[in-house]
Amino acid sequence: MASKRRRKGGRPRKTGARHKNGHLKAVMAESPRERAAHMPHRRALGESAVDPAAESELGRMRLRGEVSEPEETAGYVYARMWRGYVSTLNAPATPGEAQGRVSACAGCPWPEDRKYCLCDLRRRIYLEATGVLVSTGRGIAPLVRAVAIYDQQCRFADLPTLKLGLSALATHFGLTPSRKSGYQNARSPKYVVPTNS
């Protein structure tokens, strides 16, 4: 008759390979490059797959050379403005209120109070940026919204339209260098005397 072994009490042992003394063998963690190779949205980037910018569609487009850095930044700023605007639509409940949700902004009925209202400021700057996209051309605003805000992929045929919208936003936000003739560069106000050659 086989003897039954009593099970030890306490926490069960962790699974895995062990040394002779019973301690678990350390598992070597995979490198960031190997981890990135398993992610389908990073596979096509090659050496740039481990770049943190590859996490968003705009970042991947910049790493592939499809959009410039100011255009990428303009997309991020536009998405941040949208999130700020949306946060004002349903503000969190104020502390101390027991029932329901009460907006932290009570509204600004007087025009002189409205210029100091943060909710109204967020709404105005987002709608101003959206107005820039709408005035740039037809179909640009939904495309920029899809890529910058909702992180959707852009079809190759829509890339020129997206670049047009992002460059309009970059100009609106002041992210592009000003092209003043006669100046040494955009940051230096030193006037360069033209030479006749």
| Residue 151 domain flag | yes
**Residues 126, 80: contact at Cβ < 8 Å?**
no
Number of structural domains in the chain: 1
Q: What pLDDT shows up at residue 95?
A: 54
Range of the domain at 160: 70-94+103-173
Q: What pLDDT shows up at residue 104?
A: 52
Q: What pLDDT shows up at residue 133?
A: 94
- Residues (pLDDT < 50) of the chain are 98, 100, 180-183, 197
Place of tokens 């640009």: 140
| Residue 23 domain flag | no
| Residue 33 domain flag | no
**Residues 149, 82: contact at Cβ < 8 Å?**
yes
Q: Classify burial at 144, counting beta carbons within 10 Å of its beta carbon; exposed 0-12, middle 13-18, buried 19 or more.
A: buried
Q: What pLDDT shows up at residue 127?
A: 93
Q: What pLDDT shows up at residue 160?
A: 94
| Residue 88 domain flag | yes
pTM: 0.67
| Residue 79 domain flag | yes
| Residue 137 domain flag | yes
Residue 182 DSSP code: T
| Residue 64 domain flag | no
| Residue 167 domain flag | yes
Tokens of 146: 């899809």
Q: What pLDDT shows up at residue 183?
A: 46
